[in-house]
Amino acid sequence: MKRSSEKAASELFAALYPRLAGWCRRLVDDDGTAHEIASEAFTRLWARWTSVAEPRGFLYVTAANLVRDHWRKLERERRALHRVTSEAALRPPDEQADPSVRLLVQSLPERLRVPILLHYYADMPIREVSALTGRKEGTVKADLHAARELLRVHLRRSLDHTS
């Protein structure tokens, strides 16, 4: 039974992968991304092989969802880049962030650093930070609070040493 299942999966792949990848290519306009999406759709199909009644439909719906996610990611990146470049253009050239604060932010664990950079440095609302990081808004708020507390402690310590 297992051998016939593998053979059926192999035949399905040979029959559908080129068309699926071509369809994705037309949607994302990039060969590499199209092949990644088509491959991921097949990977998800293999994970559910015994429970999927209509593999072809499953593949195309899955690929369409992955394409949509790809487009959303590109749009978020485009907006973030626009925000950052606009911010840089508006900032006076001689204004420099305090290097000690920058170093403290860089020293934060990634879980805390990313929300701080997105919320305070890229000026994104918590809702958008939540969407970008895939975390709940409450988690983002808690991470921002924890990061601010760590920064406050480190800044207080560094100010005490300079006085």
Q: Return averaged pLDDT per consecutive 10 residues of the chain, 163 residues in all.
A: 79 94 91 96 93 91 92 85 71 53 78 82 82 89 92 79 61
Query: Residue by residue, what is the 3-state secondary structure of 117-144?
Result: HHHHHCCCCHHHHHHHHCCCHHHHHHHH
Taking Cα atoms as reference points, which of 80, 39, 41, 37 lies closest to residue 57?
41
CB 141 within 8 A of CB 102: no
* Interatomic CA distance for residues 99 and 95, integer angstroms: 12
Predicted confidence at residue 106, as pLDDT, reads 77
CB 98 within 8 A of CB 109: no
Predicted confidence at residue 95, as pLDDT, reads 43
Secondary structure (3-state) at 92: coil
Predicted confidence at residue 41, as pLDDT, reads 96
Predicted confidence at residue 58, as pLDDT, reads 92
* Interatomic CA distance for residues 21 and 23, integer angstroms: 5
Predicted confidence at residue 98, as pLDDT, reads 56
**What value, to the nearest 5°, has the Cα angle with vertex 142 and ends 137 and 146?**
150
| Contacts (Cβ under 8 Å, ≥6 apart) of 47 | none
* Interatomic CA distance for residues 5 and 46, integer angstroms: 11
Predicted confidence at residue 94, as pLDDT, reads 47
